[in-house]
Amino acid sequence: MIPLPLADSNLAACLPRAGAVLSCLLLLTFSPTGHCAQPLAQTELLKISNQPWIAVDIGKHRGVQCIVDTGASSAGVLSTKYAAGAKYIGTVRTATADRAVKMPEVEIDYVAIGGSKQTGVRFMLRDQSWFDEGDPMPCVLGMEFLGRYTIDLDGSKGVLRLYPRGTRLDEVFGGALPDGSRLAASIHNDALIEVDATVDGVRVKSAIDTGWSLATPNQNLLDMLGIRPGDPRIVNQTAHSSLSNREMTLQILEFQQVRIGSVVAEKVRASLGEGGMRVIRKEQEPYLHIGWDLLRQHRLLLDMAHRDIALIP
């Protein structure tokens, strides 16, 4: 685990060690909450692929690389090589982005990030990706684990910070949140985080999924924007899997503007290849599945205890 200096926004909000008292006193002068929260742990985001990865201790295994995935609405996913000695719970049927599958579910003794440890963490066991047959399945930290905290996924600084569950977002930020950054979201257990967005002037339903890569529209949104198969705005691009280095061809479209709350993203790349997956196809209204590529320049705050979310430019 690599210790990092805390972000400099909001007077380097709440340094966990040296200078913590001074920083919090300064913030309390301006904070309507009267409190400055300090993280239980913080860790660097690893530059592996277009998702937020961190190094995690899973039982006796140190430094396991895992994706922080707000789209994994329940238990995480783990390779069997990290599950020796885990408590077997049973076989569960769960919905992936593409289909429903059955997987064994286990309980791991503990998962630790920095100085924070959670016991009895549930994972589903899977060794092979269900999206790309040639790729191994990465470790995924789902909302069963992330929901035990208030999380500050700070893409702009490349840091994940974990706060005690129920810590208010204003306390994490060190004062009132910027205007428009708190999102009117639908947040339910075992479901994606749904928010409203605007894509090139079209109002859409969307989901925030940090385990997803490029944004993906459904066919209804493409129809609203007048984009048809063979449209010259759709181009093929070659990419390589970060897990197997296998070459892939992606259909890429660029939206001029996507607006989520106070965040306005220009020239947003979207991938059309995943549009046929169940999670996209089932939506009847214009819809955009928002991945990490769009979110990575911003700061995502999530308090599951109070169903509160903010996206800070």
Same domain, 233 and 169: no
Q: Is pLDDT above 60 for 34?
A: no
Q: What percent of the chain has pLDDT over 70?
A: 82
Q: Are 216 and 271 in contact (CB under 8 A)?
A: yes
In angstroms, rounded to a whole number, what is the distance separating the alpha carbons of residues 50 and 258? 19
Domain ends where: 173, 203, 235?
A: 173
* Residue 227 belongs to domain spanning: 193-312
Mean pLDDT, the chain, whole residue set:
84
Sequence-separated contacts (24+) of 198-204 with Cβ below 8 Å: 198/257, 198/258, 198/259, 199/225, 199/255, 199/257, 199/258, 199/286, 199/288, 200/225, 200/255, 200/256, 200/257, 200/258, 202/286, 203/286, 204/285, 204/286, 204/287, 204/288
Region 7-25: mean pLDDT is 40
Measured from the Cβ of residue 173, the count of other Cβ atoms closer than 10 Å reads 25
- Residue 180: inside a domain, yes or no? no
Looking at 127, 143, 173, which one is the last position of a domain?
173
Query: What confidence tier does 15 reach under pLDDT thresholds 50, 70, 90?
Result: very low
Task: Return all residues near 201 (Cβ < 8 A) that are at least 6 apart.
Answer: none
What local confidence, expressed as pLDDT, does residue 178 receive?
96
Q: What is the CATH number of the domain that holds 281?
A: 2.40.70.10
For residue range 173-225, what is the model confidence (pLDDT) as tens digits?
999 999 999 999 988 766 789 999 999 999 999 999 999 999 999 999 999 99
3-state secondary structure of 307: coil
Q: Which band of pLDDT confidence, cut at 50, 70 and 90, is reported for residue 29?
A: very low
pLDDT of residue 198: 98
Asked, for residue 113, whether it belongs to a domain, the answer is yes
State yes or no: pLDDT of 1 exceeds 70.
Answer: no
248, pLDDT greater than 50: yes
Higher pLDDT among residues 90 and 29, named by residue:
90
Label residue 10 by pLDDT band (50, 70, 90).
very low
More confident residue, 47 or 264: 264
Q: Do 247 and 291 belong to one domain? A: yes
Task: Give 286-313 pLDDT, tens digit per residue.
Answer: 999 999 999 999 999 999 999 999 999 9
Number of domains in the chain: 2
In this structure, the answer to whether residues 111 and 206 fall within a common structural domain is no
State the pLDDT confidence band at 49, using cuts at 50, 70 and 90. confident
Note the helical H segments in 243-291.
278-281
Question: Any idea which of 5-19, 57-71, 133-147 has the lowest mean pLDDT?
Answer: 5-19
Tokens of 57: 């201790």
The pTM assigned to this predicted structure is 0.84
Same domain, residue pair 111 and 200: no
Residue 19 resides in a domain: no
Q: What is the pLDDT of residue 95?
A: 67
Tell me which DSSP letter residue 186 carries: B
pLDDT in tens, 92-148: 877 665 667 788 999 999 999 988 999 999 999 988 776 666 678 889 999 999 999
Is residue 249 very low, low, confident or very high in pLDDT (cuts 50, 70, 90)?
confident
Residues, the chain, total?
313
Same domain (yes/no): 38, 120: yes
Radius of gyration of the chain (CA): 20
Distance CA 148, CA 218 (A): 32
At 172 the pLDDT is: 97
User: Do 206 and 168 share a domain, yes or no?
Assistant: no
Q: Is the pLDDT of residue 276 over 70?
A: no
Same domain, 168 and 53: yes
Task: Give mean pLDDT, residues 160-171.
Answer: 97
Which helix (H) or strand (E) segment holds residue 171: the answer is helix 169-173
